[in-house]
Amino acid sequence: MITVRALTKRYGGVLAVDGLSFDVEPGMVTGFLGPNGAGKSTTMRMILGLDRPTSGQALVNGRAFATLTEPLREVGALLDPGAVHPGRTGRSHLRVAARANGVSARRVDEVIDQVGLGRAAGRRIKGYSLGMRQRLGIAAALLADPRVLLFDEPMNGLDLDGIRWIRGLLRRLADEGHTVLVSSHLLSEMQQTADRLVVIGRGRMIADATTDDILRGLGQLRVRVRSAQPDALLARLQERGLAARRVEANELEVEDSTAEAVGEVANSFHIPLHHLSDVPPSLEHAYLELTGNSVDYHGRPAERATTPEEAL
């Protein structure tokens, strides 16, 4: 179990983490979400004793990480897949870690097979793709079969097969009773995988609840409807006070409503429909509502280049 209490970290005048408190319990996947710069990686580093908190504490199974006698056997982590010696092979990297922690060479072969490194384990790490480095980092985290696992953006660089694999891995680890904390910007994957979500912004707690509760609480009801008479349907829906808008040439989206309500309006005015469905609540939609005021880095559309003719 991971216990975080009033955890705070300052870097000079920058408050990176501001009084965070939450628990990561065994037997479930806890997703750790937040915009870029929210403090997720800093929090994970403090849990692992890599950064010292300004105040507060982060405990693993009731103890500070620095006091663990066999840390690799209690906690496995992937924070930076690039933090490896590029001249070593994947297998030698794992063997060094195994020797240093009293883990058998046979276990090295087991985790290589488990993460799908295969023949790549005999190649030098400098020739690895990001996805292969991710697999190697996950293998190192699993090496001593720790009960607590932390993964920071483990799906980066993985192909579709790799993403499906790690989704299954996280689920299996949780089902076996492990404590699993994983950060990711792939919200569709978190919606499928995470049992609980901790959402932070600008270093502060925004939400700490089950995924289902967040989706129910903030997953606004929406309806998609398609008709050969979109203008007439749009006008009738708006007359009824429904928040309808056009999203495609013949397709509308209606917020805070249901398919039944929209269908009744269309039927009462004899407007034919080609498609009508409730839009399932999405974590992306809920996340944007939660973090909308906590985003520090906003992009903007590129300005259209002026043609030579327009410049004259």
Residue 291 has a pLDDT of 84
Contact 131, 162 (CB under 8 A): yes
Residue 299 has a pLDDT of 60
Please, where in the chain does CATH 3.40.50.300 lie? 2-210
Q: Pick from 117, 205, 218: which is nearest to 165 by CA?
A: 117
Residue 248 has a pLDDT of 93
Provide the CATH number for the domain formed by 219-291 in this structure: 3.30.70.270
Rounded CA gap, 285 and 56, in Å?
32
Please, where in the chain does CATH 3.30.70.270 lie? 219-291
Residue 279 has a pLDDT of 85
- For residue 26, list its beta bridge partners: none
Residue 222 has a pLDDT of 86
Helix (H) or strand (E) holding 76: strand 75-78
Which segments of the chain does DSSP mark as H helices, in order?
A: 40-47, 71-74, 90-100, 105-115, 130-142, 160-175, 187-193, 211-218, 230-239, 259-268, 283-291, 308-311
pTM above 0.85, yes or no: no
* Side-chain half-sphere exposure of 218, counting CA atoms within 13 A: 17
The single-letter code of the amino acid at 113 is D
- Take residue 89 and report the two structure tokens written for it: 């092979």
Residue 193 has a pLDDT of 94
Provide the CATH number for the domain formed by 2-210 in this structure: 3.40.50.300
Q: What is the mean pLDDT of each run of 10 residues along the chain (312 residues)?
A: 97 95 98 94 96 97 93 94 92 94 93 94 95 95 97 92 94 97 92 95 94 76 93 96 94 92 96 93 82 68 57 51
